[in-house]
Amino acid sequence: MMDAMQVLKVPRNADFLQIKQAYRQAALRYHPDSALRSSDVEKFQKVTEAFQYLRKAFDAPSSRKNHSNPDFFVNHERNKEEEATQTVELSLEELINCVEFSPDEHVRQVALEAIASRRECLGFQYLQDLLSRNGFEAKMEVIRALGQPGLEPAREMLIPLVGCQDLMVSATAIRSLERICLSNRNKIIESLNRELSGRKRFFLNTFQK
């Protein structure tokens, strides 16, 4: 487990403002599109994950008392699942970079969920673009991320996937729609009926020729 403070090159008694400033500088330096000719995808991913982890640590109630203790972050770094669960301070661009460049599935999923929950037009456009790509795993990650309670804007993105020929994609889309709102079951049934009717017409026309 990496030492998050060391990755961002800040002292262990640094406050969150210092950590945030260090992250911004490192992100600009290592960004894949950096104009400074210092881009480094691996380092960019590491500083982003380090910042996410520290943001989570500072948000924890106990951290307000303990974060100046050198042993605090060492002990907390033993829990890998807490590394990327806080994305409030990240911009849409930074979240997209997490999705595109992080090899960690958990980090990608959290970033996708954060993008969806913000309900920003550009964020939804990015998620729609991911759905149109050929990668099966990427598509499944997006579908799961869209399945958040009350996230009605995502419904129109998921409904077309209900009748997908890939049963895994279809089943995951149905589960996500039901997580958004159980009343979406009516929309699901309507979509499946339309799909079934369309296939019946196709086969009838085929055999009548």
Whether residue 41 lies inside any domain: the answer is: yes
The SS3 assignment for 134 reads coil
Whether residue 9 lies inside any domain: the answer is: yes
Indicate the burial class of 103 (C-beta count within 10 angstroms; 0-12, 13-18, 19 or more).
Answer: exposed
Whether residue 42 lies inside any domain: the answer is: yes
Tally Cβ neighbours within 10 Å of residue 133.
10
Q: What is the pLDDT of residue 61?
A: 55
pLDDT band per the 50, 70, 90 thresholds, residue 1: very low
Domain limits for position 25: 1-63
Cα 133 → chain centroid? 16
Whether residue 23 lies inside any domain: the answer is: yes
Q: What is the pLDDT of residue 147?
A: 93
Q: What is the pLDDT of residue 85?
A: 41
Whether residue 37 lies inside any domain: the answer is: yes
Q: What is the pLDDT of residue 82?
A: 45
Whether residue 128 lies inside any domain: the answer is: no
Q: Say how many domains are in the chain.
A: 1
CATH of the domain at 22: 1.10.287.110
Residue 77 or residue 11, greater confidence:
11
Q: Which two tokens stand for residue 182?
A: 């159980």
pLDDT tens string 106-137: 778 888 998 999 999 999 999 999 998 877 88
Whether residue 12 lies inside any domain: the answer is: yes
Mean pLDDT of the chain: 77
pLDDT tens string 79-116: 444 443 444 467 888 888 888 887 778 778 888 998 99
CA distances from 186 to 20, 63, 147, 155 (A): 46, 46, 16, 12
Q: Are 34 and 25 in contact (CB under 8 A)?
A: no
Whether residue 18 lies inside any domain: the answer is: yes
Q: What is the pLDDT of residue 149?
A: 92
Report how far residue 111's alpha carbon sits from residue 25's, in angstroms, rounded to the nearest whole number.
21
